[in-house]
Amino acid sequence: MEPDMNINQFEKLIAVVTSYLSEDTLNRSMAKQLNTQFPAEGEHFLKIKQACQQAISEGWMCQHEAGGIRYGRVIKPGQKTHNFSVDVVMMKDLKGPHHCHPLGEINMIMPITPGARFDGHSAGWWVYPPGSSHHPTVTEGEALVLYLLPQGSIEFSR
């Protein structure tokens, strides 16, 4: 990892994943494909996790905080990320705000506390199909979750 992680370096790491996704339809079987292609113990997954941790420590990722959740949109949807936006949140043993995924949501789950789970899932990938909704929930410790949203589409419940 470079001494200073910057947005362009981070965007290149993410583009490797989004280029793999750009040909597929979001569905739950995609989680299995992602876990095979970019496993939680694999080099690329670990590079992204390290980049997130470094960017948070440098102050340009997860720079907002509300209700015990640190969060932020890191990358708006665009050509370099195959029209996916990138959001990163850090949560510890809590339930976040309910929202809907009109076009689906791809989650990269990165436990900070060994064994931490996001919506019941351990380290790796989980995909919500278009039209799904949930209260994002982290249990058993603290985790980073990177969200890839097609066209940046998300609707928070009121």
Angle among Cα 70, 76, 77 to the nearest 5 degrees reads 130
**From CA 129, how far away is CA 41, in angstroms rounded?**
25
3-state secondary structure of 147: strand
Dig out the tokens for 52 from the structure.
């997130």
Tell me how many degrees the CA angle 62-55-119 measures, rounded to the nearest 5. Answer: 50
Q: Which bin fits 10, alpha (ψ -120 to 50), beta or left (φ > 0)?
A: alpha
pLDDT (0 to 100) of residue 23: 61
61-74, pLDDT tens digit by residue?
999 999 999 999 99
First-last CA distance in the chain: 40
Cβ atoms of 157 and 98 closer than 8 Å: yes
- pLDDT above 80 (res 3): no
Banded model confidence at residue 22, pLDDT cuts 50, 70, 90: low
> Which domains does the chain show, CATH number per domain?
7-156 (2.60.120.10)
Would the pLDDT of 115 be above 80? yes
| pLDDT the model gives residue 21 | 87
Is residue 2's pLDDT more than 60? no
Does 158 score more than 80 pLDDT?
A: no
User: Is this structure's pTM higher than 0.75?
Assistant: yes
pLDDT > 50? residue 15: yes
For residues 120 and 111, is the Cβ–Cβ distance under 8 A?
no
Distance from the Cα of residue 25 to its chain's centroid: 18
Alpha carbon 95 to chain centroid distance? 16
Kindly tell me if the per-residue pLDDT of 1 is higher than 50.
no
For 40-52, the pLDDT digits (tens) are 999 999 999 999 9
Q: What is the C-alpha to C-alpha distance for residues 38 and 80, in angstroms, rounded to an integer?
A: 19
The full length of the chain comes to 158
